[in-house]
Structure 1
């Protein structure tokens, strides 16, 4: 399922009402009656599809839970919008009262809620089709979509197992992002790490068939303030010859999550064209086992 933001509402758009646990009576009368009949209690993130008199979809209700006051409560409500992505039928939708769910943050939550990692599916699951949602007032669609793309990039990298996301593949991901925004990417690889005084990157990754490397992405104008992001790129960690038990390696594909996050953040920065001199440093290694493994 893909959630797309639109800038104008058409006649076919359906409303999403919001309700706190104690506020169901404030819904339109027919919707309130349906919610009562369906025993909908407006738990946070719960979604109720509302039919018309012919059984067609007429709208939906998003539960806000107990509600609350203040900025923190409003942000939590906005993030509940992400629950809609997997629960609404395909079509065009809008918030009947967007002030209840926090505006632009709700638009971002909607897109993030549509994320699926389906790289290894032979056929894409039928998830009900795509959703078009009216962007909240004050939303910059380009900014929201740029942030979401950075988050999706980080998620995809972390979700990909090490057999397909080793040091070489991680370098490929960095170069792909860099090429998309005109950034320069340099690599120090293998024994060159020793020559450049990076002995520990070399030591941790030297036993792998995929050579250890330091990835260095630079973007921006030299006169702008410098922003440097550093992320751990251990694509898999056996512990070297201090071999970890299976339980310690079960989720090791996420050990390069630091690298994934800084690369996703870098993509956001470049997409937004922020006035910074960006540098991203990622030591990319696989801590594997061989006679030359790190001890």
Structure 2
């Protein structure tokens, strides 16, 4: 499918979106030959069903997409996309049946369903174009789809082709496209400029660690996005087992998500000042790798005992968050594929977030509902603060016990985020099996909800 909507087209095939409970009524409005064709082919209007209806001459006359029931739609997202993937290549226009309140997110689902990661193989995907439905903001929907495609491409690319060097280049390309300023601190310069934990995590890899710093816009409220850019995570000296390492190309999913969101913000021209910080590293193994038991001194001056080198994401984020907090942004957001505990808590489909700001949480929840980007608020539970305080340093990067791992990681990060409004996301960044609008592979989470909530969060 195309990532673009097309204007009104007389050659576009009418597409009727039909709820299962409305099928009998709809058939009653059609000529007998059409009604008989639909019944003969067993079309019931169930979610994900699709049917082409021919004219008496055998050419396509219309297409039908099953919209199921409200109960069936509540169990998933992007119901129209479930049927769209079964339609033949062609150009379609929604002729009836799609509720006005659902048009925007169903149109987005159609575009997202067209995503294909084809960098490493040939083959032309079938192109199913959609005429922009009435009432849908074409620019906004296309912009969101393009930002999501960028996120997916970055996550899906293997670490051999998406290491710290290539992630930096992706950020530079984005900055050039939108006239943003970008600076990158690399290698031992991280030590000289006081980013010791970013350096410690990435120094064992062949590609030097770095901090990517992009800024755009000169008026309006100040938004800073911090994305975890661990381009591959072996676990360091606490090496992961092979099955846990298989998906670690996605450990830069936070960086990919904030870059996709930044592209959306800049393309839409939102009236704000945007800063994007990405600590880009590979957590690797060599003679100079950080060790369990080491104590690092962070940019903020807090000391951190390393009890597990596989809890590295919070270390690189901590230095970046400390830098971000020095500017006192109006809203500071971190996004990271941070803990397995978050996946155990809410599974792969929900994006958990942490904030102390009830108003921000309500705005994000409302945005998530509008754009079909499910999220769930988790607590900064203060009684667990003691769990991240070891005996010989200020903080512990991997407290023992096995409980509340997502919360203790979030509490660790909060120590570096300053006193302003802060939202931390512990995302998965991966679609484990194909679903409507979400092919298997890398996926953005939380970005659409945050984009939709920005006017409320920043009074834009």
TM-score in terms of structure 2 length: 0.59
Change over 3 Å in CA distance of 1:66–1:32 after alignment to 2: farther
2:165 to 168, 177, 193: 168
CA offset digits 1:65-119 (Å, max 9, x no partner) = 11369xx96x977x22223543222222111125436222222221111111000
Partner residue of 1:49? 52
Partner residue of 1:38? 41
2:176 to 179, 189, 202: 179
Change over 3 Å in CA distance of 1:31–1:250 after alignment to 2: farther
Change over 3 Å in CA distance of 1:3–1:239 after alignment to 2: closer
CA distance in 1 between counterparts of 2:21 and 2:34 reads 15
Map of 1:19-30 to 2, 5 A cutoff? Answer: 19-28=18-27, 29=30, 30=33
Change over 3 Å in CA distance of 1:99–1:64 after alignment to 2: closer
Greater mean alpha carbon deviation, residues 263-272 or residues 194-203: 194-203
CA distance in 1 between counterparts of 2:288 and 2:228 reads 22
CA offset digits 1:220-273 (Å, max 9, x no partner) = 01x310001111101110011111110110111111100000000000000000
Give the aligned CA root-mean-square deviation in angstroms.
2.1
1:207 to 204, 208, 217: 204
Map of 1:238-277 to 2, 5 A cutoff? Answer: 238-277=234-273
Contact 1:188 1:215 in 2 (8 A): yes
Partner residue of 1:237? 233
1:143 to 140, 145, 148: 140
Map of 1:272-283 to 2, 5 A cutoff? Answer: 272-283=268-279
Moved over 6 A (4+): none
TM-score in terms of structure 1 length: 0.90
Contact 2:18 2:97 in 1 (8 A): no
Residue 13 of structure 1, CA deviation:
1.8
Change over 3 Å in CA distance of 1:32–1:254 after alignment to 2: farther
Partner residue of 1:107? 107
Greater mean alpha carbon deviation, residues 283-292 or residues 24-33: 24-33
Contact 2:4 2:129 in 1 (8 A): yes
Greater mean alpha carbon deviation, residues 18-27 or residues 150-159: 18-27
SS of aligned partner of 1:115: coil
Change over 3 Å in CA distance of 1:275–1:194 after alignment to 2: same
Ranked by relative contact order (alpha carbons within 8 Å, sequence separation 6 or more), the top structure is 1
Change over 3 Å in CA distance of 1:206–1:93 after alignment to 2: same
Q: Which runs of 5+ in 2 are unaligned?
A: 292-460
Greater mean alpha carbon deviation, residues 194-203 or residues 1-10: 1-10
Greater mean alpha carbon deviation, residues 133-142 or residues 171-180: 133-142
CA offset digits 1:166-213 (Å, max 9, x no partner) = 000000000000100000111111111112221111111111110001
1:284 aligns with 2:284: no
Contact 2:66 2:83 in 1 (8 A): no
Greater mean alpha carbon deviation, residues 12-21 or residues 178-187: 12-21
Partner residue of 1:188? 185
Partner residue of 1:63? 66
Equivalent pairs, count: 286
